[in-house]
Structure 1
Amino acid sequence: MQPSLSVARRTAVRASAWQAVAVLVLAVVFGLAAGPAHAAGVLVGGFAMVLGSALAAWFMVGGGVNPAGVVLGRWFLGMVAKWLLVLVALWLGLAVWRVPALPLLAGLVVALLAHVIASTRRPRSTR
């Protein structure tokens, strides 16, 4: 495996883990402050973003080393799949399951911010 590809995979796993932890912490806070319906809203929104990000990462780094056109196509496909999954989860959460909107959006935003922070941090050296 190429070193840069293995770094990308580790970064994707680390970002997903950060997202999951951030969403769980926010769900506990909302659950204690406002009740289980609000915690469920955070979980629906947050884990939609976690699963979407993991799906996008799988598309992006799952194909190995390829020409630039293929990589760009996989990146685009991953982004489209991610945001379609998030939009479906928003619709399910708001229209079908009727979870509160603010916690749902808060879960999405916290998961997105955790992904950005985890992706931009430099990993600790293993040496």
Structure 2
Amino acid sequence: MRTNKIVLIGNASIFAAAISGCSTPGALRNTTPDIVANSIKSAKTVAICITDRWENGAGYLGTTVPVSMRETEKGYTVMWLNGMGGAGMLADIDNTASGSRTLYYRGGVIGSGTFEASLRECQ
């Protein structure tokens, strides 16, 4: 039984990589954000929440996905690494005078609804 689970996780990762495009963070940022959200929470709080949710439950077929969170000059960037050397999804969360602002970019990913719902819930 355990072997089947490992195979499923492997296949899910391949599936996730196959249905997403290879976008660089810079290329994604040169497009119009798919979601713009403002929050009274700090950029750090929102970024940690998004990272946790993307890593623990927003994955394909119940799997986890590789997520990167890094600090920037203005706040934080959270990125789903699609396994093909690119960014599948990217959220720039910047500090503002009243909290934070999130710019979310989806790079050719199919089935991103749970990721987007998680992002909205973290605001």
Please give the TM-score of this superposition, normalised by the length of structure 2.
0.33
Structure exhibiting the larger radius of gyration computed from Cα positions: 1
Please give the TM-score of this superposition, normalised by the length of structure 1.
0.32
More helix by share: 1
